[in-house]
Amino acid sequence: MGVMFGLSESVAEAQASEILEEVARSGVNLLDEAEEVQGILRSAGRQYLRRKLRESREAYERAVENMKGQEYDLPETAAERRKLLNAILQERPDFEPIVITAQHRDFTELTDDDVSSFLKQLKSLGLLNTPASPTGK
């Protein structure tokens, strides 16, 4: 490592004319060298991003598994769960963009699994302290 750092310092401190003379003597094509360095840097960047993506995916999968293993105090019927979610969204309209994605803006098209999932996510995030039975509206 010491030799590599010494070489890099000597190149960094060298005059551009000295480097160009050395390149001309050795017959190195600077464009080819630049392309190779760019390829190495691109590859390293992709590997870094893939690692971050893989770590994020693994964290998401752990969170989903954790949610599946928890018990949730939710209404027993699909109609009651839908009524609870509707009451929550009326009481807290700021939750709508968090809970319902663009594909589910038409509330009537939500499946019971979607409704249950939204309610579980809100409870897991600590955003839902509502009892299992809605109390109005």
For residues 122 and 83, which has the higher predicted lDDT (pLDDT)? 83
Alpha-carbon span 117 to 119, nearest angstrom:
5
Measured CA angle at 40 (ends 38, 42), to 5 deg: 65
Residue at token pair 């949610």? 67
Domain boundary assignment for the chain = 2-67, 75-124
pLDDT of residue 59 exceeding 50, the answer is: yes
Give the predicted TM-score (pTM) of the model. 0.45
Q: pLDDT tens, 14-43?
A: 888 888 888 889 888 889 989 999 999 999
Alpha-carbon span 90 to 5, nearest angstrom:
64
Q: Mean pLDDT over all residues of the chain?
A: 81
pLDDT of residue 101 exceeding 50, the answer is: yes
Q: Is residue 87 within 8 Å of residue 136, measured between CB atoms?
A: yes
Q: Is residue 118 within 8 Å of residue 86, measured between CB atoms?
A: no
The residue-averaged pLDDT of 95-112 equals: 65
Query: How crowded is the C-beta side of 15, counted as CA atoms within 13 Å?
Result: 3
